[in-house]
């Protein structure tokens, strides 16, 4: 593997850790809707912050890309909350 591939792998492992920590937190937090909502917001925020850091480290830090990460984090949050609470 090249150095760039290993760097990308480490970035995506960090994202996987963020998402898995959120999933574990959801499972151990009990049935409280407020706590689940807070955890989902934190997962979404974690994804956005990860995306910003990832793009900064890759020297691809552009407003359009940052906006894309922000919008996808909101879309993911809305989708998961809709599935969990309104279906």
Taking CA atoms, 69 is separated from 3, 14, 41, 58, 78, in Å, by 25, 16, 14, 15, 14
CB 48 within 8 A of CB 70: yes
Per residue in 24-76, pLDDT tens?
999 999 888 899 999 999 999 999 999 999 999 999 899 999 999 999 999 99
Give the number of domains in the chain. Answer: 1
Q: What is the pTM of this model?
A: 0.90
**How far apart (Å, rounded) are the C-alpha atoms in residues 41 and 46?**
8
């Amino acid at each position: 593997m090249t150095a760039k591939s290993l760097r990308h792998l480490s970035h995506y492992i960090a994202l996987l850790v963020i998402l898995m920590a959120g999933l574990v937190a959801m499972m151990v937090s009990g049935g409280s809707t407020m706590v689940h909502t807070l955890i989902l917001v934190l997962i979404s925020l974690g994804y956005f912050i990860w995306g910003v850091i990832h793009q900064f480290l890759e020297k691809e830090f552009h407003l359009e890309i940052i906006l894309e990460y922000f919008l996808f984090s909101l879309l993911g949050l809305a989708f998961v909350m809709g599935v969990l609470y309104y279906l």
